[in-house]
Amino acid sequence: MRKHLLLLIFLAFAMCPHRLAAADKPSEYATLLAALKAGDTQIDYARLRLSYMDSPEYKQAKDTSDAEKAMTEALNAKDYTGALKEAETVLESDYVSIDAHFVAFVANRELGAADQAEFHLAVFRGLIDSIRNSGDGLSTQTAWVVIDVHEEYVLLRALGFQPSDQSLIQKDGHSYDEMKVKSEDGKQQTFYFNVDIPFKHYGF
């Protein structure tokens, strides 16, 4: 009886080799992340962000809201060692956090770690550009694609705009944030963000 059971188990595994291979294969996000951490700052940052949202790493990520708040407070207080520690905590779970890379850039620069500062600045720029290159933000048809709503505010801040009003638009089966903004010289403008991905993961 035991021999028959062992034979059945062997046959079951032999018939499903593709499942075993799939289980051992790293996610697209993990592959891109490994290349980035190895120093390849020319990776596809759009794919890094998008693949993160469908990865096992995203599903296993810890809540980093406390660390995000702490790193900002530490940076504002010029506690660069503390800011870097909190930024690294955020990046352990969410390596596509644009804010965390910016904090890590500033903290490393102030602490004299030039190489690390340069690396995080390159990643920061890569992530920002990956959003900018997804459209021009001037219409729903050419809306910027974000993976979470916070990216909207990060991009606008990087471009020198201050949000003044936000509205949700449903059009042609897609969801968009219409953001009315003001530039530093007071000029008003409207930008659009495609929020299909955050809505999918928020359960809407």
pLDDT tens-digit readout, 29-67? 999 999 999 999 999 999 999 999 999 999 999 999 999
Continuous segment of H or E residues that includes residue 177: strand 174-183
CB contact at 8 A, 191 and 179: yes
What pTM was computed for the model? 0.87
- 188-194: strand order across its sheet: 144-145, 188-194, 174-183, 161-171
Segments making up each domain of the chain, as ranges: 28-132, 144-202
Res 8 pLDDT > 70? no
pLDDT classification of 4: cutoffs 50, 70, 90: very low
Average pLDDT over residues 72-79: 98
- pLDDT at residue 201, rounded to an integer: 82
For the stretch 128-184, pLDDT in tens is 999 999 999 999 999 999 999 999 999 999 999 999 999 999 999 999 999 999 998
Tokens representing 65 are 């809201």
CATH code at 144-202: 3.30.360
Distance CA 17, CA 15 (A): 6
Distance CA 45, CA 40 (A): 11
More confident: 12 or 66: 66
Distance CA 120, CA 31 (A): 19
Res 15 pLDDT > 90? no
Fold designation for 28-132: 1.25.40
Res 190 pLDDT > 50? yes
Continuous segment of H or E residues that includes residue 191: strand 188-194
Instruction: Give the DSSP per-residue string, 60-126.
Output: TPPP-HHHHHHHHHHHHTT-HHHHHHHHHHHHHH-TT-HHHHHHHHHHHHHTT-HHHHHHHHHHHHH
Residues above pLDDT 70, as percent of the chain: 88
